[in-house]
C-alpha cells in the first residue's frame, strides 16, 4: 500500500470512530483496517491512536497528524476536481445544516438559486434547530445563530440577526405604553426554549446602556412560528428574530415594541472545522449566501417602514 492510501485509511478511521464503519466506507475488510493502521504507526514510529475494547482516542501526535492529513486529502481531492472539471464549473455534493425557520424561509431559496447557477452541484440540506456536531455528523458547513463556543471550529460572520419584541396590536393597546424593558413585566410573555435562559432578554438601550430583563414566560417553544401564532391570538409578547417576524410586521398582524432597543445582539455564522480545507464549491456557496444577504439583510427592510410610520409628523392631528 502506498503512503497516501495509509493516510486515507487513518483519516477515515478517525472520522468514523469505528474500524467496522471505516471498513464499510472504504470497501475493505475490518482486518485490513487494523493491519494498515499497524503498518502506518510502525512506519512513523509513533502511536497515533489509543484503543480499548469500546473506545478509540487520538494521541497528541495523532491529533497533529490527523489535522495535517485531513488538509492534505482535502487539497488532493480539490486538485483532482479542478483538473477534471472546466475552469468555471462547480461539481460535487455539499452537506449543509441550518436553523429550521431561517432555512425554510430564507436560506433554502438562496441555495436553490445557487444550484440553478451551478447545475453540477448537489446539496444535502439538514434543517433543524438541534445543536449538530459539525465534524462527527459530516457537515461541510453549518449555518448557526449565536456565539461560537467550540475553538476547534472556524466561524465566518454571514449577516446580523436582529431581534424585536412584539405582540398583537390589541395587546399593545391594552398593556401599553411600552417605554422601557421593565414595562414588559405588565404583559404575558413567551420564551424560545432552545436558549439556555428563555426568560432572560439582554438588551442595549438607545444610549448604549446594556441590561437584561428577566421574565417568567407563559409559553415556551423551540419553534418561532408557534410563538408567533400565539401572539397573533393575543396570548402575549415575545422576542424573536426579524427573519421570522417581518411579514407579520408588514401586514400589521403583529407590532414591534421598544424599537429603540437592540435585543440579544446575535449574528448568523457559517461554521466549519478548523482542520478542514474548504472545497471550491463550498467556498463558492458561502460567498454566494453572504453576497445575497449583506450586512443588513432584506428582511429588515420592514423596520424602516415601521420607523417612518411612527414619526410624529406622519400622524394626523
Give me the mean pLDDT over the 192-200 stretch. 91
What pLDDT is recorded for position 315? 43
Q: What is the mean pLDDT of the chain?
A: 86
Give me the mean pLDDT over the 249-264 stretch. 93
Q: Domain segments of the chain: what residues?
A: 3-84, 87-317
| pLDDT tens sequence across 12-48 | 888 888 888 888 888 888 888 888 888 888 888 888 8
Q: Answer whether residue 2 shows pLDDT above 70.
A: yes
Q: How far is CA 182 from CA 161, 176, 178, 190, 257, in A?
A: 23, 12, 8, 15, 12
- Determine the Cα angle at 132 with ends 130 and 135, to 5°: 175
> Alpha helices of 189-300 — where are they, by DSSP H?
224-232, 242-251, 280-293
**CATH class of the domain defined by 87-317:** alpha beta
Higher-confidence position of 110 and 24: 110
Q: For residues 92 and 73, give the distance between their C-alpha atoms in angstroms, rounded to a whole number.
A: 16
What pLDDT is recorded for position 19? 84
CATH no. of 3-84: 1.10.10.10
Helix (H) or strand (E) holding 24: helix 19-26
Amino acid at each position: 500500500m502506498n503512503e497516501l492510501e495509509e493516510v486515507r485509511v487513518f483519516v477515515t478511521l478517525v472520522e468514523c470512530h469505528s474500524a467496522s464503519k471505516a471498513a464499510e466506507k472504504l470497501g475493505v475488510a475490518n482486518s485490513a483496517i487494523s493491519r494498515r493502521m499497524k503498518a502506518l504507526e510502525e512506519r512513523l514510529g509513533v502511536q497515533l491512536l489509543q484503543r480499548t475494547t469500546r473506545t478509540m482516542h487520538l494521541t497528541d501526535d495523532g491529533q497533529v497528524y490527523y489535522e495535517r492529513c485531513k488538509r492534505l486529502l482535502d487539497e488532493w481531492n480539490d486538485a483532482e476536481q479542478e483538473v477534471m472539471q472546466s475552469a468555471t464549473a462547480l461539481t460535487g455534493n455539499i452537506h449543509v445544516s441550518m436553523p429550521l425557520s431561517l432555512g425554510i424561509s430564507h436560506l433554502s431559496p438562496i441555495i436553490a438559486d445557487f444550484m440553478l447557477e451551478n447545475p453540477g452541484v448537489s446539496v444535502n440540506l439538514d434543517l433543524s434547530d438541534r445543536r449538530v456536531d459539525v465534524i462527527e455528523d459530516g457537515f461541510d458547513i453549518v449555518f448557526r445563530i449565536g456565539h461560537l463556543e467550540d475553538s476547534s471550529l472556524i466561524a465566518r460572520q454571514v449577516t446580523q440577526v436582529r431581534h424585536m419584541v412584539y405582540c398583537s396590536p390589541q395587546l399593545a393597546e391594552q398593556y401599553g405604553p411600552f417605554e422601557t424593558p421593565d414595562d414588559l413585566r405588565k404583559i404575558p410573555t413567551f420564551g424560545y426554549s432552545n436558549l439556555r435562559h428563555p426568560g432572560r432578554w439582554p438588551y442595549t438601550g438607545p444610549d448604549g446602556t446594556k441590561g437584561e430583563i428577566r421574565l417568567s414566560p407563559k409559553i415556551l417553544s423551540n419553534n418561532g412560528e408557534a410563538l408567533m401564532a400565539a401572539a397573533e391570538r393575543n396570548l402575549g409578547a415575545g422576542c424573536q428574530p426579524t427573519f421570522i417576524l417581518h411579514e407579520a410586521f408588514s401586514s400589521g398582524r403583529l407590532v414591534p415594541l421598544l424599537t429603540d432597543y437592540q435585543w440579544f445582539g446575535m449574528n448568523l455564522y457559517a461554521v466549519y472545522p478548523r482542520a478542514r480545507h474548504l472545497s471550491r464549491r463550498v467556498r463558492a456557496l458561502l460567498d454566494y449566501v453572504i453576497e445575497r444577504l449583506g450586512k443588513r439583510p432584506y428582511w429588515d427592510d420592514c423596520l424602516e417602514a415601521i420607523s417612518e410610520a411612527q414619526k410624529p409628523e406622519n400622524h394626523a392631528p
